Amino acid sequence: MFSTISSSVREWGAKTDSRQKLQHAYLGVTLALVLGAGIIGLINYELGQKILLGAFVCIIVFLVNAIAWALLQSFVLLRIPEEKKAPASKPTRKK
Tens of pLDDT, residue by residue over 52-90, are: 999 999 999 999 999 998 888 887 766 666 666 656 666
Q: What is the distance between the alpha carbons of residues 41 and 35, in angstroms, rounded to a whole number?
A: 10
Instruction: Dump pLDDT digits (tens) for 7-18.
Output: 888 888 888 888
Output the pLDDT for position 70: 87
Whether the model pTM is above 0.75: no
Q: Is 77 exposed, middle or buried (0-12, 13-18, 19+ CB in 10 A)?
A: exposed
If phi > 0 it is left, if psi is from -120 to 50 it is alpha, else beta; for residue 39 that is alpha
pLDDT tier for residue 31 given thresholds of 50, 70 and 90: very high
